Chains A and B, each alone.
Chain A
Amino acid sequence: NAGVTQTPKFRVLKTGQSMTLLCAQDMNHEYMYWYRQDPGMGLRLIHYSVGEGTTAKGEVPDGYNVSRLKKQNFLLGLESAAPSQTSVYFCASSHNLDENTEAFFGQGTRLTVV
Chain B
Amino acid sequence: GEDVEQSLFLSVREGDSSVINCTYTDSSSTYLYWYKQEPGAGLQLLTYIFSNMDMKQDQRLTVLLNKKDKHLSLRIADTQTGDSAIYFCAESRGSSNTGKLIFGQGTTLQVKP
With an 8 A cutoff between CB atoms, is A111 at the interface?
no
Minimal Cβ-Cβ distance residue in B for A42 = B105
For B10, the chain A residues whose CB sits under 8 A away are none
Residue contact B103 to A42, C-beta cutoff 8 Å: yes
Count residues on chain A whose CB falls below 8 Å from chain B CBs: 29
Residue contact A50 to B98, C-beta cutoff 8 Å: yes
Binds B, one of A12-20, A73-81, A100-108: A100-108
Choice from B6, B43, B50, B94 contacting A97 with Cβ under 8 Å: B94
B interface footprint on A87-114 (CB within 8 Å = 1, 0 otherwise): 0001010101110111101111000000
Interface residues of chain A, those whose CB is within 8 Å of chain B, are: 4, 31, 33, 35, 40-45, 48, 50, 56, 58-59, 90, 92, 94, 96-98, 100-103, 105-108
Interface residues of chain B, those whose CB is within 8 Å of chain A, are: 2, 6, 8, 30-31, 33, 35, 41-45, 48, 50, 88, 90, 92-106
Question: Can you show 27 pairs from A to B with CB atoms below 8 A apart?
Answer: A4-B42, A40-B8, A42-B88, A43-B88, A45-B100, A45-B102, A48-B101, A50-B96, A56-B98, A58-B100, A92-B43, A92-B101, A94-B101, A96-B96, A96-B99, A97-B30, A97-B93, A97-B99, A98-B99, A100-B48, A100-B50, A102-B33, A103-B45, A105-B43, A107-B41, A107-B42, A108-B41
